Amino acid sequence: MNVTTNELIEYFATSSIQFMNVFIITLPARKMDTNRKTDHQICGLFIPLKGQARFSLNGIPYKVNTNTIIHASSSMDIEIKTFDEDFTYVVVQYKIVQAQEAFKQLLHKHFSITVDDMTAIMASVQQLLSKNVHPDYFSRFELQVIFMNLIQAILNGARNNQYDGMLHVITKVLEYFHTHYEEEILISEIADMFEVDRRRIAYLFEKVTGLTPIQYLTKYRISKAKELLALSELSILEVSEAVGYQDSFYFSRVFKKLMHLSPSEYRKNVQNQSIFHYGV
């Protein structure tokens, strides 16, 4: 199954997941390992540490090397063939507690993830292996944190691999948005600033974030406006100007389109729900 990097990011961002187990396996050279199945109701990541192998999941082959991670779902047939050297890999198991309907199909699918660098991934894997032998509850909590760090490292590696060195440009654009959102921002000027073609930067931005530059900037501005409406006594006009909209009527239309409430209605709702009551 082909899964895009953005689909993978959204899958992990919107699903509730629980780390279950981690273990390491070494298979000798030129061996065929058959008659295995993934655990029932458990998903897994097969992360290579040394050597190469061919994984087959439900009969579909994947060539696994030190830059390829395989994702498998529950109750799948596994066959592993090693080549001219021993093959060592780690299995990281996790359970989906809750997932959006759009991504439930991934609970029953397998796919590969190609990353640009394994350094951060290996660091998290080693932490998981070390901490997994500790039986206390705080260690269980730490394992969940390390597991999420592992997922973050895998997603970063997949993004870097997909965008072939251009990710740093999009990161700089995002940083510029976050520090200059209250100013007028033109995408053509951003493209000139970072010496990238306007269409190219728009294409890459949407691929990386899932949003066009304008959509991202609009949502970021409205998020900042929500903070000001909830935590300050600024007027609607002042909030509008503080987040980059000189026309407060246009700001109100944009806000209502995204939030389904006018700025004043949003402020009133937040104040009514607040647990802090001053002057009572």
- DSSP-derived secondary structure for 53-116: EEEEETTEEEEE-TTEEEEE-TT-EEEEEE-SS-EEEEEEEEEEEE--GGGGGGGG--EEEE-S
Whether the predicted pLDDT of 108 surpasses 80: no
Q: Residue type at 124?
A: S
Give the confidence band of 3 by pLDDT, cuts at 50, 70, 90: confident
Q: Which residues pair with 64 in a beta bridge?
A: 53
How much is the pLDDT for 71? Answer: 94
High-pLDDT (> 90) share of the chain, % = 65
- Domains identified in the chain and CATH numbers: 5-163 (2.60.120.280), 167-273 (1.10.10.60)
How much is the pLDDT for 103? Answer: 67
Residue 238 is encoded by which pair of tokens? 């002042």
Whether the predicted pLDDT of 257 surpasses 70: yes
pTM of the model: 0.70
Higher pLDDT, 135 or 1: 135
How much is the pLDDT for 165? Answer: 64
3-state secondary structure at position 165: coil
Q: Residue type at 250?
A: Y
At 129-143, the pLDDT tens digits run 999 999 899 999 999
At 168-215, the pLDDT tens digits run 888 889 999 999 999 999 989 998 998 888 888 888 888 888 899 999
Whether the predicted pLDDT of 242 surpasses 50: yes
Contact call for residues 90 and 115 (beta carbons, < 8 A): no
Whether the predicted pLDDT of 85 surpasses 50: yes
Higher pLDDT, 1 or 262: 262
- The contacts of residue 138 (CB under 8 Å, 6+ apart) are none
Q: Report, as an integer, the average pLDDT of 59-73.
A: 92
Whether the predicted pLDDT of 11 surpasses 70: yes
Q: Which of 4, 160, 20, 164 is nearest to 92 (CA)?
A: 20
Whether the predicted pLDDT of 166 surpasses 80: no
Residue 103 is encoded by which pair of tokens? 């991504």
Whether the predicted pLDDT of 79 surpasses 60: yes
Contact call for residues 55 and 87 (beta carbons, < 8 A): no
Whether the predicted pLDDT of 101 surpasses 80: no
Whether the predicted pLDDT of 160 surpasses 70: yes
Higher pLDDT, 62 or 8: 62
